[in-house]
Amino acid sequence: MINYQLNLEELHILVEEISEKFQNGVIILRGDLASGKTTLVKTLVEHLGIKDDVTSPTFSLQQCYGDKIYHYDIYNHGVEHFISLGMLEELDKDGLHLVEWGDDRLFEILDSAGIKTLTIKIEKLDDNSRNYEVDYAHA
């Protein structure tokens, strides 16, 4: 587990490391409301040179950026609803999948399926600073 305390202008440091070490698999994003999960996705998409507008998929469940970036938000319905819609098959597609509000149950399912998983827990320290706890153990 690696901890980063970064202000939002420094987020590119974490994004660069992630994009070098993890190009294919699932990134589970955890954190309170407004902690910066979508901001991290937006910064990653920009870093990869994709010009798409990044928005939270809270109501659409999934957004796609470029050819191989998939962004999910399972806050409203939870992992069981996500599974019932057949979305687990989506996570097995080639590409980078970022799941906001993924929990331990989702992690266990992905781990048992052999899907590479990176977990990032975001904690808001103040309006401009966050602590990012990154777990590469199953990446």
Residue 90: phi, psi to the nearest 5?
Answer: -60, -40
| Domain CATH number, residue 42 | 3.40.50.300
Segment 21-44 shows an average pLDDT of 95
d(CA 75, CA 51): 26
Domain count, the chain: 1
Going by C-alpha positions, the residue among 81, 77, 119, 79 that lies closest to residue 98 is: 119
DSSP letter for 54, please. Answer: P
The per-type count for the chain, helices as H runs and strands as E runs, is: 4, 7
Token output for 15: 């994004």
Domain that holds residue 124: 2-138
Q: Which amino acid type is present at position 88? A: L
Model confidence, pTM: 0.92
Q: What is the reported pLDDT for 83?
A: 82
**Res 20 pLDDT > 90:** yes
